[in-house]
A and B are shown apart, each in its own frame.
Chain A
Amino acid sequence: MEPTYGHGGINFIWRLGYTFSGLKRYDVVAVRLAGSKVMLLKRVVALGGEWVEFREGKLFIDGKKMDESYVHYPGNWTLPPRQVDKGSVYVVGDNRNMPMESHYFGQTSLSRIVGVPLW
């Protein structure tokens, strides 16, 4: 999630962040990677039922090019369109200036979303 959040930094997660409102596009969320302690910070770019795609580093949702002002290190990723399952969201980190194969991103179940960073 660099440069928005530094690698290995400490963040506090608000677990009740989505108690009263649902997830929205561009929200930064904590995804439970393993056990109860290992988390990833990622940004929600697509919601359940939407089609997500990358063309030459640009994000497209349902075929429409999206504005990603938070991406300071763009890349040239190309990913064919895929539909996000219901009950899932598609999350990506902000640091795109790395090979797509090395970047840990993709569709994740809503049950894996733990909360939102407090700042």
Chain B
Amino acid sequence: MVKTKSLAILVLLGVMGSLVVIYYFPSDTNKVKRRFALLAQWASKDPDEKALATAQKLKKIGALFDEKNRLQVPSQEISGTFSREEIVAFAARIRLAFSQLHIKFYDIIVTFPKEKKVQVTLTARLTGKWPSGENVDETRELICTLNKVEDEWLFSEFEVVEVLKK
């Protein structure tokens, strides 16, 4: 009986130790996934969001991006390199266009093509409402690149995969 209890305590300690290590010393893959979770959280908008909250979220979004960023959205004919400030302004315009906006990322596949660079393929789902009340529900595949700058993974490239080309 004592042996069983000791074993159970050891197993519990082992699990707790593993969780602490994962939480405080996450792998680069988990750090990258966390960046996407933060981007989704801060890009999303509730209908009753206050101006101060909007400003804080936009500032936080800016901190997720590198100084120069490449955007490619073929369906909107957007292609080019944008500064961090331009990305924030772009995010502000998109958020303003919606009365409600929720972004979620799925199917995140992380690969490391070279040191301090990561490429991520994922599914992005955007749901929300236009100010007119009309619902929006769009899903797209994205390819993103992040650079490691001073131990932080920063977004540097976003490409919306063009599955159907008119």
Contact = CB atoms under 8 A, between A and B. Distances in A.
B164 A34 contact: no
Interface in A77-119: 79, 91, 104-108, 112
B165 A33 contact: no
Interface residues of A, number: 18
A79 B163 contact: no
Contacts, number: 45
Interface of B is mostly: strand
B139 interface: yes
Given A36-B107, A37-B107, A38-B123, A108 B139 contact: no
How many chain B residues sit at the interface, stated as a range, is 10 to 19
A117 B29 CA distance: 36
B166 A33 contact: no
A106 B166 CA distance: 4
Q: Which 6 A-B pairs have the closest CB atoms?
A: A35-B107, A34-B141, A106-B164, A35-B123, A34-B123, A106-B166
B164 A104 contact: yes
Interface in B128-166: 139-141, 161, 163-166
